[in-house]
Structure 1
Amino acid sequence: MNNTNESNVIYLKKPKRFSLNEAKRILPEVRQMTDQAVEFVEPMVERIQESSNPEEQYELSLEVQQAIDDWTEKIQRLGAVPKGLWLVDFDSGSGYFCWQYNEGDLGFFHAYNEGFSNRVPIQ
C-alpha cells in the first residue's frame, strides 16, 4: 500500500526545450511581461529610496518583491528559465539562448556550465 498523501506532493514544471525559432516566437511575450514588471518596479524602488518612513519602505519592498515573484512565475509558465532580475534563458538542449531586458532580439547563447558573462552571439 502506498502511504504517500497525494495532496502533499509538489509538482515542479521542468523547463521546456526550445529551438531558436520557438524561443524567438515567444520573446515578444517575454518582453511585454518584462516591460510591464519593470514599469511597475522601477518607480516603486525610487519611492523606497526617497522615503524616510521605514514602514512605508517595508510595504513598498513587499510590493516590489511580489511583482518580481509574479514575473518569475509567468516566465516559468512559458517554460523559460529566469536567471536573474530581468534575465531569461531558454533551454536549447545543449545550452541556453539568453535574453536580458532592453535587448531587442534573442542574440546570445551560453553553455549549461557557463553564465551570463560567458555568453556569445548567436550566429
Structure 2
Amino acid sequence: MKDVIEINRKKVFSQHEVSHLLPLIYKLTDDAQSEVKKIINFIEAHTDKKTSVVHDLETRLNEIVTRWQMKIEKLGAEPKGLWLADFDSGDGYFCWKFPETEICYWHGYQDGFTGRILIKEKSRPEIYENSNSAN
C-alpha cells in the first residue's frame, strides 16, 4: 500500500515524499501544458481574435489551467504560478517549476520563487541564515 497517494489534504512534505509525487505531477503538468500549447497555436492562427471560436478557445485555456491547479492542490501542493508548485517543508517550501525533473530547490515562506536556493545549499548554515535574515 505504499504507492497510495493521499489527496485533498494539506501536509508537510519531506523531500523524499515530494520526489515520490514528482512523476505524477510532471505528467499532469506536461499534459496540461501540451493542451495549452495546442490551443495557443490555434488562437495565433486566427487572424480575427474577436470571433466566438477564439473566445471559446480562451475559455478552454482557463479551464485547463484551473483543472491543473485543482489537481496540484488535491495532491497537497500549492500552485504558485503557471506550472509552478510549492510543497510545504515545515520551514519553507520545496519549489518545483516545469520542466524540472527533480526537486532541487527550496525557499522560505516569505521568499517566493525569486528566493529559491538549491536544497544542497540550504544545508549550509550561512546560506540558510542569509535567506532568513532577508525577512
TM category (shorter chain) comes to 0.7 to 0.9
Tell me the residue number matched to 1:65.
Answer: 62
Structure 1 alignment gaps of length 5 or more: 1-12
When the two structures are aligned, how many residues end up with a matched partner? 111
Query: What is the distance in 1 between the residues matched to 2:74 and 2:92?
Result: 19
Q: Give the ranges of 4+ consecutive aligned residues of structure 1 lying more than 3 Å apart after TM superposition.
A: none
1:41 and 2:58 correspond: no
Instruction: Provide the rounded CA distance (Å) in 2 between the counterparts of 1:103 and 1:29.
Output: 13
Query: Which TM-score applies when normalising by structure 1?
Result: 0.86
Could you tell me how far 1:14 is from its partner in structure 2? 5.9
Alignment TM-score, normalising by the size of structure 2:
0.78
State the distance in 1 between where 2:114 and 2:77 align.
19
* CA-to-aligned-CA distance 1:69-121 (integer Å, 9 cap, x gap): 00000000000010000001100010000010011201000000011111000
Q: For residue 45 of structure 1, report the CA deviation from its aligned partner.
A: 1.0
Indicate the SS of the match to 1:52: coil
Query: Identity over aligned residues, as a percent?
Result: 37
